[in-house]
Amino acid sequence: MKRYISSTLVIMLAGLLAFSGSTQHATAQTPNRGTAVLPGQSQIHDRQILVELQSNGDAKSASAAMASKGVSMVDTLSLSYTDYMVVRVPDGDDYEAVFRRLENDPNIRSVTPNVVKHISEYIPNDPLFLGTASDVESGLASGAGSPALSNQWGLLISGAQDAWEVTTGKNNIVVAVLDTGAKLDHEDLKNRLWNNPGEAKDGTDTDGNGFVDDVHGYDFQGYSLPVGGGAGSGGDGDPTDEEAKSADTVFDSHGTSTASIVAGQTNNGVGMSGVAGGNTPSSGVRLMICRVGTASTISLAAEIGAIDYAVNNGAHVITMSFGGESGGDAEENAINRAWNAGVYVCAAAGNYPQGAAAGVDLPAGFDNCVAVGATTIFSPDSVNVGPGAQVVSEYRPSYSKTGPEVEICAPGTRVISAAWGGSNATVDGYMDSFQHQFTGTSAATPVVAGLAALLYSVLPDPESVTANQTVRDRINSTAKDLGQAGRDEQFGFGRIEMGEALAAFATGKDGDANGDGFVDEADLALIIANYGKRSTDAGYTAQMDLNSDGVIDELDVLEIGKYYEAAP
């Protein structure tokens, strides 16, 4: 039965101020996504509708068919699994009447308003609480930490350092960050970007995937692909946050923030530490930057196009710090396809009073998307944590949405993250203001995505279509139970415990390539015997790859030298 599942797709990513389970899916309730009421025109992009035909035809006949229905063709969106036509209802015509006419056409499989998603950040007005190297309470196992680690309370309380004893992230694991784009040359991001192995920035579609110059990801704002194939148009291969770039006074960049929380370069002596940012220049997971809109508008077409791209280009994790009313079957089908391909998909549960009119936002509320809520340790309960704030026991901040769909929580208030850093970047005398405070379920979601990426880094087969369920179950089963015993509507299964989640994958001591409990000549012999093997080669094991860079080489020999201790 053809139906429009939801109306207003007003997705609000939340960036608020800074410091801040495992799923029994059988007990999770499916959100109410069905409504016969269409959203208002302010929530629909340029009077547009996404139309999915029962069968594909050539573009010319499809355009003629749409003209006979009183609409004009704007774009076509050819995904891996279906084709959509983006059509426009003329000004002055009754939008709902046209929509219903299309909805009742037996030749049309589905119709969905091209709803608009909005991201709305709460910009903090208090001084930044960034630490310096002397403020670091504890660094990585190697003894070297990032200067802002002492202010990254969310990493400390969630056991990130224990997780890092197991892995800091492998560079063959890819996280797709669907957001406003990012500052690609940021000091904490530039070495963590995904590099499309078959693409060159030469003005052509080198790898033949339909996207020109998509070296680090793609800008999907306004992008379309013709039904039946051919060159795409409307997007570009530069997923930079264009809004932040165009205004020198801009300090904030929502997408830069979320990307850095996932995998900002760790242990590089500058800035902040990402959850899966590695501990050497070549380690850490990789960030596929997918720009899906601006701080005010994300279209459904851009979102589902980016999801399809991420799946087709090898992403293991998709993180979306936005939400609102449902995008209907078009949105849920995209989520389902990603999940069925083995991708761990997570999204912000939403912030009151933004997003959906009631309950958890979509896409977070879909069954195959993990809904992430936030926790905090600051009192009073406010998005702006001032100098007089008190540190208290962890609780759910009032902005974090609740409901049966909430699956897991992570620190979300006053989270240190990377920023764009425009001309007004000096904050309270701190000159290197590439970092700032970030609050909301927008901030909590990439923390969960980072943990998922760490887990993919240690799975024996991260490419398995069941890897995402393994990751989901591990995160939920090891969460710290908060609130009512068991799963509840405020915290889901609880707040993530990174160390506990990775504990089962611990391989022993640093430098111990053979797992015998000692770092000695036997480990060196094993490295020499397997020298040059890469993660894709037979005989490669993660335990031998001591620096987690995907290749067994002289750098692993150096790791043995660092921890050498002859057996008694």
Q: Domain 1-506 - what CATH class?
A: alpha beta
Phi and psi at residue 563, to the nearest 5°: -115, 15
pTM, two decimals, is 0.75
Q: For residue 45, what pLDDT is reported?
A: 84
The CATH number fitting domain 521-563, selected from 1.10.1330.10, 3.30.429.10, 3.30.420.40, 3.40.50.1370: 1.10.1330.10
* Cα–Cα distance, 432 to 425 (Å, whole number): 8
Q: For residue 247, what pLDDT is reported?
A: 65
Q: For residue 123, which of 9, 244, 10, 293 has the smallest C-alpha distance?
A: 244
Q: For residue 224, what pLDDT is reported?
A: 62
Token readout for 63 is 């355009």
Give yes or no on whether 1-506 and 521-563 have one common fold: no
Burial of 314 from C-beta contacts in 10 A (0-12 / 13-18 / 19+): middle
Which secondary-structure segment (H or E) carries 298? Answer: strand 298-299
pLDDT by residue, tens only, the chain of 568 residues: 332 323 222 222 223 222 223 333 322 333 333 335 787 887 788 899 999 988 766 656 777 888 888 899 888 888 888 889 899 999 999 999 999 999 998 889 999 998 877 553 333 222 333 333 233 233 322 223 333 334 678 888 899 888 988 899 999 999 999 999 999 998 889 999 999 999 999 999 999 998 999 999 999 987 665 554 444 556 899 999 887 777 654 557 899 989 999 999 988 777 778 999 998 888 999 999 999 998 778 888 899 999 999 999 999 999 999 988 888 999 999 999 999 999 999 999 999 887 666 789 999 999 999 999 999 988 888 877 766 677 788 999 999 999 999 999 999 988 888 887 654 443 322 223 334 568 899 999 999 999 999 999 999 899 999 999 999 999 999 999 999 999 999 999 999 999 999 987 765 556 777 766 577 888 888 999 999 998 778 887 777 888 777 789 888 888 888 777 644 4
Q: How far from each other are the two terminal CA atoms of the chain, in whole angstroms? A: 72
Report, in this order, helix, strand and coil percent for the chain, each rounded to 5.
25, 20, 55
Q: For residue 74, what pLDDT is reported?
A: 87
Biggest CA pair distance of the chain: 87
Q: For residue 25, what pLDDT is reported?
A: 30
Helix (H, G, I), strand (E, B) or coil at 13: coil
Q: Which residue ranges make up each domain of the chain? A: 1-506, 521-563
Q: For residue 57, what pLDDT is reported?
A: 61
Q: For residue 245, what pLDDT is reported?
A: 75
Helix (H, G, I), strand (E, B) or coil at 320: strand
